[in-house]
């Protein structure tokens, strides 16, 4: 087993702070290799035979368990592509923590994590994903792909954040919801300098009474660029809501391209998007409490990015 150096430990800490869960199964991947693996009777992890990645099997009825699968890249010149599939049984309640931390000095490192979730009936999944880059110069690229297939009465709460150090990314999320399935996604993005970030959401509300609620909060600073694409398709009696809320500072740019497509008269789909600079009223209010303009802006951005669903 390879041990982790100081920077690697710091990355790990930041992307995968351990949560209050009875027992966790763990798979830590470093520079393209699995360095730590811990499984248990309820959550099995096996390496894929045909390509890089793992299969995770969660037994029916597993409750209050956690699974951590962080990825660390600490060398430059590496492109790590990994396929992780989660097979989640029925009546499960689980928290999955994934994420990628890159520290590559002056070169370029890239991580492409393709995650698929097959969620069984009546199961509840909380998925937390953090992406982080450390260090100056160089390119730290992350292209996460997340696909979620949800059976009857299942629930999935996804919290994804990419708030610092990733130079370029293309984030793709696809979900298909069965009857009564509920999907909540809360995405937080913060780009600075010349970073670019593209987000694609496609949600198909296939089952009767399925519900999706997607909130993307983003801040674009300096010369960074963000491009947000969303598509919600309602094929049954369902409810879909997408909200894209962006704050711009400096010469940054945020574009939002929504698409809502309802093919059933009992489908209700809503899209909201708002992009603008920091509200002047908010700045004035905080200044009247004694903060200077810069402090006020910082507090507003911190709050905005920490907001919960």
Contacts to another protein by CB under 8 A: 217, 245, 279, 281-282, 284-293, 299-300, 302-308
Q: Considering beta carbons, is residue 205 or 296 the nearer one to another protein?
A: 296
- Helical (H) or strand (E) element with 167: none
Kindly report the number of other CB atoms within 10 A of residue 252's CB atom.
22
Q: Considering beta carbons, is residue 179 or 245 the nearer one to another protein?
A: 245
Q: Considering beta carbons, is residue 264 or 309 the nearer one to another protein?
A: 309
Half-sphere exposure of 165 (CA within 13 A, CB side): 20
Min CB(245)–another protein separation in Å: 7
Nearest-angstrom CA–CA distance, 147 and 207:
17
State CA 177 to chain mean position distance. Answer: 18
Min CB(276)–another protein separation in Å: 12
**No. of helices (H) and no. of strands (E), the chain:** 3, 20
Nearest-angstrom CA–CA distance, 117 and 55:
10
Facing residues of 98 across strands? 69, 129
Q: Considering beta carbons, is residue 61 or 303 the nearer one to another protein?
A: 303
Nearest-angstrom CA–CA distance, 162 and 197:
10
CA distances 306 to 1, 67, 187, 235, 300, Å, are 36, 23, 11, 33, 10
Half-sphere exposure of 62 (CA within 13 A, CB side): 27
Min CB(73)–another protein separation in Å: 30
Q: Considering beta carbons, is residue 74 or 188 the nearer one to another protein?
A: 188
Min CB(286)–another protein separation in Å: 6
Q: Considering beta carbons, is residue 73 or 300 the nearer one to another protein?
A: 300
> How would DSSP label each residue in 14-72?
HH----S-SEEEEEEEETTEEEEEE--SSEEEEE-SSSSEEEEEE-TT--SEEEEEEEE
Phi and psi at residue 187, to the nearest 5°: -110, 135
Min CB(216)–another protein separation in Å: 13
Q: Considering beta carbons, is residue 41 or 289 the nearer one to another protein?
A: 289
Q: Considering beta carbons, is residue 263 or 303 the nearer one to another protein?
A: 303
Min CB(306)–another protein separation in Å: 5
Min CB(304)–another protein separation in Å: 5
Min CB(300)–another protein separation in Å: 7
């Amino acid at each position: 087993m390879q041990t982790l150096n100081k920077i690697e430990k710091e990355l790990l800490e930041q992307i995968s702070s351990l949560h209050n869960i009875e027992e966790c199964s763990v798979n830590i991947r470093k520079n393209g290799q699995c360095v730590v693996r811990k499984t248990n009777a309820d959550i099995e992890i096996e390496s894929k035979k045909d390509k890089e990645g793992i299969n995770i099997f969660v037994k029916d009825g597993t409750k209050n368990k956690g699974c951590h699968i962080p990825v660390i890249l600490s060398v430059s010149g590496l492109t790590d592509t990994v396929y992780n599939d989660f097979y989640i049984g029925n009546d499960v309640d689980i928290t999955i923590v994934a994420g990628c931390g890159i520290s590559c000095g002056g070169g370029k490192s890239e991580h492409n994590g393709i995650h698929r979730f097959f969620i069984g009936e009546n199961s509840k999944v909380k998925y937390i994903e953090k992406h982080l880059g450390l260090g100056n110069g160089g390119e730290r690229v992350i292209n996460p792909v997340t696909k979620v297939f949800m059976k009857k009465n299942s629930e999935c709460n996804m919290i994804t954040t990419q708030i610092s150090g990733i130079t370029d990314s293309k984030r793709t999320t696809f979900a298909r919801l069965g009857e009564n399935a509920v999907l909540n996604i809360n995405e937080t993005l913060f780009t600075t300098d010349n970073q670019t970030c593209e987000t694609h959401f496609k949600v198909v509300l296939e089952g009767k009474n399925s519900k999706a609620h997607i909130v993307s909060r983003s801040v674009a600073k300096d010369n960074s660029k963000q491009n947000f694409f969303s598509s919600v398709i309602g094929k049954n009696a369902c409810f879909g809501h997408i909200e894209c809320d962006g704050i711009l500072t400096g010469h940054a740019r945020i574009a939002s391209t929504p698409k809502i497509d309802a093919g059933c008269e009992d489908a209700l789909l809503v899209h909201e998007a708002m992009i603008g600079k920091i509200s002047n009223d908010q700045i004035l209010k905080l200044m009247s409490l004694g903060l200077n303009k810069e402090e006020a802006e910082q507090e507003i951005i911190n709050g905005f990015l920490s907001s919960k669903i």
